[in-house]
């Protein structure tokens, strides 16, 4: 059943980030990075992948068209 205790804490290789995020939610504190900042980082990662695949530079910000093309490829 979802939400059932698992008897241990798993945070994996991102232990510090995971614990920080859980504590921020539970204690109503600000998080280290905003959703907007996380999106910007992901956009750079996606653009880097697109550039490697195409062998061409990719301009930022990504457009819906360029991001959709990357998702299909």
**pLDDT at position 43:** 95
Q: Dihedral, CA atoms, 61, 65, 66, 67, nearest 10 degrees? A: 80
Over residues 48-70, the mean pLDDT reads: 89
Rounded CA separation 73/65 (Å): 12
Q: Residue 55 is part of which domain span?
A: 34-73
Q: Is residue 48 part of a domain?
A: yes
Q: Is residue 18 part of a domain?
A: no
Asked if residues 44 and 28 have their Cβ atoms less than 8 Å apart, the reply is no
pTM value > 0.85 = no
Q: Is residue 17 part of a domain?
A: no
Q: Is residue 2 part of a domain?
A: no
Number of domains in the chain: 1
The answer for residues whose C-beta is within 8 angstroms of residue 73's C-beta and 6 or more apart is 53
pLDDT in tens, 2-54: 677 666 666 678 888 888 998 999 999 999 999 999 999 999 999 999 999 99
Q: Dihedral, CA atoms, 10, 11, 15, 17, nearest 10 degrees? A: -140
Higher pLDDT, 63 or 9: 63
């Amino acid at each position: 059943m979802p939400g059932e205790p698992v008897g241990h804490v798993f945070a994996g290789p991102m232990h510090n980030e995971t614990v920080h995020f859980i504590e921020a939610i539970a204690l109503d504190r600000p998080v280290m990075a905003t959703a907007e900042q996380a999106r910007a980082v992901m956009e750079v990662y996606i653009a880097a992948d697109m550039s490697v695949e195409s062998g061409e530079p990719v301009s930022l910000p990504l457009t819906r068209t360029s991001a959709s093309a990357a998702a299909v490829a």
